[in-house]
Structure 1
Amino acid sequence: MADTAGRTIGRSRGLKAVATIGVRSSGTRHPLVAAAMVLPLALLLAVTFGGWEAVVTQASSVAGALGR
């Protein structure tokens, strides 16, 4: 019995930690939230490794695919 109680407490703590971080159990996230999470890191990597030309090329390709 004590072993089961210990696992239950550990599981509830883990769920609280996940809820605090804001991760939903369904695994879905709004695309703008995902972009807001990824863009700062992408910009940092582009600046760090000097990949501005690649970023511009990819951005223009995506814009062309979207019809803009």
Structure 2
Amino acid sequence: MADSTGRTALRTRGREATTALGGSRPAGTRHPLIAVAMVLPLVFLLAVVFGGWEAVVTQASSVVGMLGR
């Protein structure tokens, strides 16, 4: 029981530190559009460097299919 109490205290301190540093969301809750905006420049760079436009289009359509749109 003491072990779980210690872990809970560590998580609470971690959340407090995150809030103090300006973060309002817990880890792992980034908005999907923000994640896409972060990844797009890298996708375009890799597509230009490796000439894989078809692969980019295929992957994008797969992701859209997984999202159910």
TM-score for the superposition, normalised by structure 1: 0.52
CA distance in 2 between counterparts of 1:38 and 1:47 reads: 15
CA distance in 1 between counterparts of 2:65 and 2:31 reads: 23
Identity between Structure 1 and Structure 2 (%)? 71
Aligned length: 48
Following superposition, the deviation at residue 63 of structure 1 comes to 3.8
TM-score for the superposition, normalised by structure 2: 0.51
Q: Which has the higher contact order (CA 8 A, sep 6+)?
A: 2
- Aligned Cα root-mean-square deviation (Å): 2.4
Structure with larger Rg: 1
CA distance in 2 between counterparts of 1:62 and 1:34 reads: 13
Following superposition, the deviation at residue 65 of structure 1 comes to 4.7
Equivalence for 1:26:
26
Summarize the Cα distance change of 1:67–1:33 in structure 2 as closer, same or farther, 3 Å threshold.
Answer: closer
Per-residue displacement from partner, 1:6-43 (whole Å, max 9, x unpaired)?
Answer: xxxxxxxxx69xx3xx6x36112111011000111111
Q: Amino acid of the residue matched to residue 32 of structure 1?
A: L
The unaligned stretches of length 5 or more in structure 2 are: 1-16
The unaligned stretches of length 5 or more in structure 1 are: 1-14
